[in-house]
Amino acid sequence: MSVFPCSCNQTSEKGNPGGDTESFHHFFEGWISEQNQHLKDLLVVGEELQSVKDKVVEHYESYYKTKSRCAKQDVLAMLSPTWTSSLEDAFLWIGGWRPSMAFHLLYSKSGLQFEARLQELVQGLRTHDLGDLSASQISQLDEMQKRVILEERQITDLMAGHQETVADASMVELSHVASEMIRANERGEVEESKEFEDKVESTLVQKEEGLEKILQKADELRLGTLKAIVNVLTPKQAIHFLIAAAELHLRLHEWGKKIDARKENHGTGEGKNYNSSI
């Protein structure tokens, strides 16, 4: 059983909020190497289907628990992750994977397994893998997919609304006053106001709080979708799904890092630079 490092929590207890980004980065590295190990466990799973499945789902839960804690301290870091590659960043939806993507993952894996055993399935034999989704499972998954897409849209709209508040009256006014102050400074007129700084600070804090709430909803939908799909599947099917999810996540991460490293080597400087342990 893996122990989840939660340096994020530790640093906050030490009263060092500045270290959160670094610590989540560290946590992520640990988490992803655990995911690597779990993938190996999933591939050799025997009788202990249920416990391995539960372990992997708990691993995802721990990820979002830690992420949520860190987001409360520094939501901006969570929305501009340093621990992912630029390839992964390009496909981010509100700081993570798009929930509706889980159904595509499922359909794609299911399709591959279905085509591989088509003859048997048509003859009414069971293969017990994702190609063998029953009528009721397809029905439940389809229903779930529609619901997830709806919620995803609602959260996207929330985010749109919140992003638009960047240009709300108070922001525009504050930016104007701040600019005036800079201009006054340039003219040599010293005009500094602690009160004004506080006002900017509190306004920006509100923006961050808004982001944090939206990120929270997005992460809840991500974890909820994953768990709901796993629950509709039989334990054996769930193992196949979790394998596909881990493989996609791990390989995408690797491919992205490779691209970034290549850019780094070519000196284009566009790639993301980070020191990853795996």
Partner 1 sequence: MAGICCRVVGEGDTPNPLDSSSRPSTTRRAMDIVPFNYMADMTVPESSRKRPKLDLNDTDDQLQNDQESSGVKVMKKDSQFVKEDDEDVSDTKSLSDDDSSEDEECPKYGVTSVCGRRRDMEDSVALRPFFSLDGFHYFGVFDGHGCSHVATMCKERLHEIVNEEILDEDDNFEWKLLMQSGFARMDEEVFRRSQGNQTFNCRCELQTPHCDAVGSTAVIAVLTPDKIVVSNCGDSRAVLCRNGVAIPLSSDHKCFDPFSVVQPDRPDELLRVESKGGRVIYWDGPRVLGVLAMSRAIGDYYLKPFVISEPEVTVTERSDGDECLILASDGLWDVVSNETACGVVKMCLKSQKPPTPPSPGGYVTADGSDRACSDASILLTKLALARHSADNVSVVVIDLRKEQGETSVPTSNYVNE
160 binding partner 1? (CB under 8 A): no
86 binding partner 1? (CB under 8 A): no
Determine which residue in the list 15, 124, 188, 267 makes contact with partner 1, applying CB under 8 A.
Answer: 124
Q: CB-wise, 79 or 130, nearer to partner 1?
A: 130
Gap between the Cα atoms of 214 and 259, Å rounded: 30
Size of the site for partner 1 (CB under 8 A): 40
Gap between the Cα atoms of 100 and 28, Å rounded: 23
134 binding partner 1? (CB under 8 A): yes
248 binding partner 1? (CB under 8 A): no
230 binding partner 1? (CB under 8 A): yes
Q: CB-wise, 86 or 140, nearer to partner 1?
A: 140
48 binding partner 1? (CB under 8 A): no
Q: CB-wise, 12 or 100, nearer to partner 1?
A: 100
157 binding partner 1? (CB under 8 A): no
Give least dist CB 97 to partner 1, A: 16
Determine which residue in the list 12, 23, 100, 225 makes contact with partner 1, applying CB under 8 A.
Answer: 100
107 binding partner 1? (CB under 8 A): yes
Binding site for partner 1 (CB under 8 A): 100, 104, 107, 110-112, 114-115, 118, 121-126, 128, 131-140, 142-146, 149, 227-228, 230-232, 234-236
